[in-house]
Structure 1
Amino acid sequence: MVKIAIFASGSGTNFDNIMQRVKKGVLRNIEVTALYTDQPTAACVQLGQQHGLPVHTYRPKSYVDKLAYEQDVLKQLEAEQVEWIVLAGYMRLIGNTLLDAYEGKILNIHPSLLPKYKGIDAIGKALNNGELETGTTVHYVDAGMDTGQIIAQRKCPIYQDDTKAALEDRIKSLEYELYPEVIQQIIR
């Protein structure tokens, strides 16, 4: 079994999707050790509890600096013998402490066809800029914002009458298929 930790900051829908697939045996030979979050009141916390997982909450502002924050997180990852980190809507840049410890072993999913529309509100940016298509990207995490090596992408059209909510739903559907596929292929 390969031990992974999932990091999330928000609703936790990608986290929940991954957990459902682990439980159904679609994602094999993977053990999710815990959910890590920087947002103690986020919806992902309740989902983690529903899945019977430990939920580790770290409030970055309660630390002297990013180094101290990540050192604390790293201690817990090491205690759980985590081999891979999977970001699922984690809204913080990963710093050198975790990047060095997990070099080449941190995955992220982003709702755009990177390198376009890095960072927040990628869907809104694609919609507002009149793009004809967008999608989702799974990539390795590096020190930049959504700049790591691209592993896989899936595209979807943007319709003329699309709302942001409708486009978000289509992209989430793509993410729910693509991310588990990549996780299974990459993490063995």
Structure 2
Amino acid sequence: MTLNIAVLISGRGSNLQSIIDNVESGYIPNACVSVVISDKRDAYGLVRAMNHGINAVFIDPAVYESKKHFENALLEVLEKFSTDVLLLAGFMRILGSNLIKAYNNRVMNIHPALLPSFKGLHAQKQALEYGVKISGCTVHFVDEGMDSGPIILQKSVPVLDSDTEDSLSERILAQEHIIFPEAVKLFAEGRLDVKGRRVHIL
């Protein structure tokens, strides 16, 4: 049975590319990226999807009168493509309760910090301003809070005295491209068991 993956993006889609590459190589077993959805018309991630023959869908939030109506349109697309797991790869919106409940423990996000530290936007800038010596990235299941769901995998990255926001972001991104596909692989193999806030790897 094939695992149907949907990916939500808002930008260039480098994490999307790492997922596509790892599905195509077979590292993520018995899986297919069935649709990529963006809330930005010009997101380069949509081009990446089309380059690999993947359905690319733009849903314009501006034409919907509320977040709920926008997410209903999103749910329709996810159902159309028989989505099994939903990946947030640089999707810049917080999902509402209806969508979270529909895909309970089946929505994953990648965040460029070691959660629960530095939630929200500009996590790398937050880390530098705080003066931490170690930062990194986190893959977690999504709940109704901001970057607050159960943690699946984390990878640490040293913060150098010479780091800028760009240089730290670049090194963290390299690790994101490793642990996001790894988390999806574990999901595809049925090896993730969520008990409360803890995710056990079987």
TM-score (norm 1): 0.97
Structure 1 residues not aligned, in runs of 5+: none
Query: What per-residue deviation string (whole Å, max 9, x for no partner) do you get for residues 110-138 of structure 1?
Result: 00000011111000110122111100001
Q: Render the CA deviation track for 1:48-100: whole Å, top value 9, x for unaligned.
A: 11121111111112101111111111111111111110111111001122111
Residue 25 (structure 1) aligns with: 26
Q: How does 1:17-166 map to 2 (within 5 A)?
A: 17-166=18-167
Q: Which amino acid aligns with 1:165?
A: D
Identity %: 35
SS in structure 2 at match of 1:19:
helix
Q: Is the 8 A contact 2:28 2:188 kept in 1?
A: no
Q: How many residues align?
A: 188
Whole-angstrom CA distance in 2 between matches of 1:145 and 1:38: 18
Q: Distance in 2 between matches of 1:17 and 1:77?
A: 21
Give, in whole Å, the separation in 2 of the partners of 1:61 and 1:149. Answer: 31
Q: Within 1, Cα distance between the matches of 2:53 and 2:4?
A: 16
Residue identity opposite 2:54 in structure 1? L
The residue type paired with residue 46 of structure 2 is V
Partner SS, residue 82 of structure 1: coil
Q: Counterparts of 2:97 and 2:164 in 1: how far apart (Å)?
A: 38
Question: What is the rounded CA distance, in whole Å, between the counterparts of 1:72 and 1:155 in structure 2?
Answer: 37
Contact 2:29 2:188 in 1 (8 A): no
TM-score (norm 2): 0.90
What's the offset of the Cα at 1:109? 0.5
**Structure 2: runs of 5+ lacking an equivalent:** 190-202
Indicate yes or no: 2:169 matched with 1:168: yes
Residue 187 of structure 1 deviates from its aligned partner by 2.7
> How far 1:42 moved relative to its partner?
1.4
Between the aligned partners of 2:33 and 2:71, the Cα distance in structure 1 is 20
Q: CA deviation at 1:173?
A: 1.0
